[in-house]
Amino acid sequence: MNLTSALLSHYRRHPWQLLALLLILIVATALWSGVWQLSQQARASFTSNDAALQERFSVVREDASPVTVKDFVTLRRLGFCVSPQLTVERPAPKGRVIGIDALSLRCFSDVPQESPSGNSGAFVDIGEAEKLAAGQWPTRLTLFAPREYSDLPSAYRIASLFSGVGAGQLADSFLLNLDALCALVLLISALLVRSVFLLGLAQREASLALLNRFGVTPGRLQFHLIIELAVLSAIGGGLGLVFGQVLANGFGQGFDQALSGLFGVRLYAQQTTWWTWLAPLLVLILVMIWAVADRVLFAKLKTNYRLLVLVASAVLVIGVGSSLLSASLAWQFVAIGLTLAGFGWLTVLLLPWLLNQLAKTCTQPLTGWSWRELAVMIRQLSLPLMALQFAAATVIAVHALVGTFENTFYDWLDQRLQGDVYLQAPPDLDLTSANATLTSLDSVKASHGVLRGEAQTSYGSVEITAVDPASPLLQPWTFLASTQETPGDVWRAVAAGEILINEQLARREQLTVGEQLTFDIGQSRQSPYTGTIAGIYADYGRPASEVLISQQLWPPEAPYSSLSFSIRLASGGIQAFQQQIEQAWRSPGLTIRDNSEIRTLAVTIFDQTFALTRAISALTLALAGFALLLMALTMFGARKQYYQKLQLWGMQKRHVKLWLMRHSTLLTGTVGVTALPLGSFLTWVLVARINPLAFGWTLPMAMFPVFWLVILGLCLTIGLILASLLAPQIALKAGRRG
């Protein structure tokens, strides 16, 4: 027998331990590699859309007035390489001509695009475009810059053509969330593998010492143990990768729908290479070796309890502090990791101490024994208990996030999708004549037109929407903040010339209600308009900054990108309305959408977005519960004699079983209880810190106590299963024979 077979003989004696290790590795790898594959595919899909998502810059005036040819000349003379683009909007038939200066386009020689703006339209020389407009049609001049100049004259500044968060960043944030979940699953798996492997190591302590006495050097033993874990990780991980592929395929369609709905990017299948398989396997092997390295490579250190509590507290404080103070998304995830580690560590350090203190105050020796026994169990099962606590907290946080989002988003969707149908007007139609036609149709009970376009502010380009503040379809809106008491008063203020902004703009530019915002819709206005912000409204699911005004403020000659209507139908249904309106506008094939269908689509997209997160967190909880059962079954071999002793001392077996059940349910129930504050904190970080950083908007944080009870019930169920699995072990058996 050589050294390898001598070491592996441990698993011949403990086949369940080997099976447990492999199962944990398989399930964990399947979970995180499945999500990893999806996020890698999504990243590749986003990269292919880079041209559309690439950020571009323009030079704007600090005073928010539109840039002119004079500004272009000034900047060129100062040596700034800027390129002008004149956008001419032809009112009817509606069209767009873009005038460019071929000479200055050399500024963008490293950006292979037809125009720096990436706009669609007919491209002509800037002089020709100016002649075409002839002072009659609305025009807008933009000065593009190839990079973010930091030394512009004080009258100018650089503005991003994407308002604050670009779709690329948004997608990155979305994927970062998935990566964080992958990392969490990997962390929980590492904890579980560490606990099983260390148990095996403890059981092999005598054998290892014997081998050492037989002349095997500690280095050789360590090398064999590391290789053993690496081989186990490779086998379990390899099988896990196959299951991960199955998982990724299962979720692929929903994930594609989510990406398509959120970012307009289709998920395409990535070509599988050897690296696709090898990379996650290597990551797994390295993480697993890291998880046990300290105990394999170094002798077990004598631990100082107070020092451990101090270190765990410091980790927790740094984690919570970083969550509160950091404005970096990546740091927020690091902070979550630190908070989890610190909280979990403190839990398994402080709970046994508390239970021992409780035991000291007991007058009943049986109760005292019970508390102390529980303290020992927590110490011995600290790693799987921490894993269960993390998983339960994650499930609580994910549920709260999804629940909050559903409550808020669906209400918001309902108030936005007032009316029965959405109608997109043809491009050459103006609001007044469109309104007149709609009013004349007997299939229309009420209608509300919405103009959309682009406006320039001192913060750069924003989307602008013009509505009729008196429309009954707008009255159900609720506001995140407003200067007025009631929504009705807010709309009256808008009718009087005040404006509304969306949450994204308010957060990015730190704007609050009562402040003023200056903006300009097209170049036809003599001077930019300055309005008081009467309210801030929620605008979920997209990153753009938006200003909302009364239609009265929209200059008749100003260009708009779209005109749409919310229609409340009188009778006859959508088909009758479509027939009438297409006939009236002599425009077949109009875009008419059933609002209930839009709602269903939006809900489906968001459901798909969260289905993956929900599934992974639930499966992680199952994995942690399963690992705890396995570990407890093994650990109990050393504790069962004390339950047997109670029987030997005359306690009825059913009473001993009851004590065992109390211990196991208290064990897992305590984990459930401690997971509640951790889960609530995670929810807060996700809602109040990560969401605004990642998506530009936040959600009102909601608690779901009923779901807490469900999690608590699940933890207690794990405890009951544990008790039923352990009960056969406490049967009173003869210790010695002969």
Our finding on whether 732 is near other proteins (CB under 8 A) is yes
Beta-carbon count within 10 A of 591 CB: 11
> SS3 breakdown of the chain: % helix, strand, coil, rounded to 5?
60, 15, 25
Q: Give me the least distance between CB of 216 and other proteins, in Å please.
A: 32
Our finding on whether 306 is near other proteins (CB under 8 A) is no
Q: Which stretch binds other proteins (CB under 8 A): 203-211, 218-226, 554-562, 648-656?
A: 648-656
Task: Round to whole Å and give the CA distance between 515 and 169.
Answer: 28
Task: Round to whole Å and give the CA distance between 127 and 601.
Answer: 46
Q: Give me the least distance between CB of 735 and other proteins, in Å please.
A: 7
Q: Which stretch binds other proteins (CB under 8 A): 32-40, 401-409, 521-529, 642-650?
A: 642-650
Our finding on whether 353 is near other proteins (CB under 8 A) is no
Size, binding site for other proteins by CB under 8 A = 28
Per DSSP, the residues of 624-654 read HHHHHHHHHHHHGGGTHHHHHHHHHTT--HH
Our finding on whether 728 is near other proteins (CB under 8 A) is no
Q: Give me the least distance between CB of 351 and other proteins, in Å please.
A: 15
For other proteins, the closer CB: 69 or 732: 732
Our finding on whether 330 is near other proteins (CB under 8 A) is no
Task: Round to whole Å and give the CA distance between 393 and 181.
Answer: 13
Our finding on whether 647 is near other proteins (CB under 8 A) is yes
Q: Give me the least distance between CB of 642 and other proteins, in Å please.
A: 6
Q: Give me the least distance between CB of 724 and other proteins, in Å please.
A: 19
Token code pair at residue 251: 């979720």
Our finding on whether 651 is near other proteins (CB under 8 A) is yes
What's the CA dihedral at 641, 643, 647, 649 to 10 degrees?
80
Our finding on whether 645 is near other proteins (CB under 8 A) is yes
Q: Give me the least distance between CB of 369 and other proteins, in Å please.
A: 5
Burial of 134 (0-12, 13-18, 19+ CB in 10 A): exposed
Our finding on whether 646 is near other proteins (CB under 8 A) is yes
Q: Give me the least distance between CB of 652 and other proteins, in Å please.
A: 5
For other proteins, the closer CB: 586 or 736: 736
Q: Which stretch binds other proteins (CB under 8 A): 18-26, 176-184, 549-557, 640-648?
A: 640-648
Our finding on whether 538 is near other proteins (CB under 8 A) is no
Our finding on whether 79 is near other proteins (CB under 8 A) is no
Our finding on whether 635 is near other proteins (CB under 8 A) is no
Our finding on whether 729 is near other proteins (CB under 8 A) is no
Our finding on whether 556 is near other proteins (CB under 8 A) is no
Per DSSP, the residues of 480-535 read SEESSSSHHHHHHHHHTT-EEEEHHHHHHTT--TT-EEEEESSS-SSS-EEEEEEE
For other proteins, the closer CB: 599 or 653: 653
Spatial neighbors of 689 by CB under 8 A, at least 6 apart, are 323, 332
User: Which one-letter DSSP state was computed for residue 115?
Assistant: S
Our finding on whether 331 is near other proteins (CB under 8 A) is no
Task: Round to whole Å and give the CA distance between 386 and 216.
Answer: 35
Our finding on whether 650 is near other proteins (CB under 8 A) is yes
Q: Give me the least distance between CB of 381 and other proteins, in Å please.
A: 16
Our finding on whether 736 is near other proteins (CB under 8 A) is yes
Q: Give me the least distance between CB of 194 and other proteins, in Å please.
A: 26
For other proteins, the closer CB: 286 or 658: 658
Q: Give me the least distance between CB of 298 and other proteins, in Å please.
A: 26
Our finding on whether 649 is near other proteins (CB under 8 A) is yes
Q: Which stretch binds other proteins (CB under 8 A): 200-208, 219-227, 309-317, 637-645?
A: 637-645
Q: Give me the least distance between CB of 506 and other proteins, in Å please.
A: 59
Our finding on whether 648 is near other proteins (CB under 8 A) is yes
Our finding on whether 658 is near other proteins (CB under 8 A) is no
Within residues 365-384, the interface with other proteins by CB under 8 A covers: 365-366, 368-369, 372-373, 375-376
User: What region, left, alpha or beta, does residue 298 occupy, with left being phi > 0 and alpha being psi -120 to 50 degrees?
Assistant: beta
Token code pair at residue 16: 């369940």
The 10 Å CB-count burial string (b at 16+, else e) for 76-108 is eeeebbbbbbbbbbbbeebeebbbbbeebbebb
Q: Please select the residue that binds other proteins; options are 79, 135, 728, 738, rule is CB under 8 A.
A: 738
For other proteins, the closer CB: 131 or 655: 655
Our finding on whether 735 is near other proteins (CB under 8 A) is yes
Q: Which stretch binds other proteins (CB under 8 A): 59-67, 93-101, 362-370, 551-559?
A: 362-370
Q: Give me the least distance between CB of 666 and other proteins, in Å please.
A: 15
Position of tokens 């990780």? Answer: 233
Our finding on whether 302 is near other proteins (CB under 8 A) is no
Spatial neighbors of 486 by CB under 8 A, at least 6 apart, are none
Sign of the C-alpha dihedral computed for residues 683, 685, 691 and 694 taken in this order: negative
Q: Which stretch binds other proteins (CB under 8 A): 174-182, 260-268, 646-654, 680-688?
A: 646-654
Q: Which stretch binds other proteins (CB under 8 A): 357-365, 386-394, 557-565, 604-612?
A: 357-365
Residues forming beta bridges with residue 452, ordered by sequence position: 465, 562
Beta-carbon count within 10 A of 728 CB: 8
Our finding on whether 733 is near other proteins (CB under 8 A) is yes
For other proteins, the closer CB: 372 or 448: 372
Spatial neighbors of 177 by CB under 8 A, at least 6 apart, are 613, 690, 694
The 10 Å CB-count burial string (b at 16+, else e) for 547-578 is bbbbbebbeeebbbeebbbbbbbeeeebeebb
Sign of the C-alpha dihedral computed for residues 148, 150, 152 and 156 taken in this order: positive
What element of type H or E holds 100?
A: strand 95-100
Beta-carbon count within 10 A of 272 CB: 10
Our finding on whether 354 is near other proteins (CB under 8 A) is no
Task: Round to whole Å and give the CA distance between 586 and 582.
Answer: 5
Our finding on whether 112 is near other proteins (CB under 8 A) is no
User: What region, left, alpha or beta, does residue 85 occupy, with left being phi > 0 and alpha being psi -120 to 50 degrees?
Assistant: beta
Our finding on whether 737 is near other proteins (CB under 8 A) is yes
Beta-carbon count within 10 A of 233 CB: 25
**Hey, is 586 helix, strand or coil?**
coil
Token code pair at residue 461: 């380009």
User: What region, left, alpha or beta, does residue 121 occupy, with left being phi > 0 and alpha being psi -120 to 50 degrees?
Assistant: left
Q: Give me the least distance between CB of 645 and other proteins, in Å please.
A: 7
Our finding on whether 590 is near other proteins (CB under 8 A) is no
Our finding on whether 642 is near other proteins (CB under 8 A) is yes
Our finding on whether 364 is near other proteins (CB under 8 A) is yes
For other proteins, the closer CB: 13 or 736: 736
Which residues contribute to the site for other proteins (CB under 8 A)?
A: 359, 364-366, 368-369, 372-373, 375-376, 641-642, 645-653, 732-738
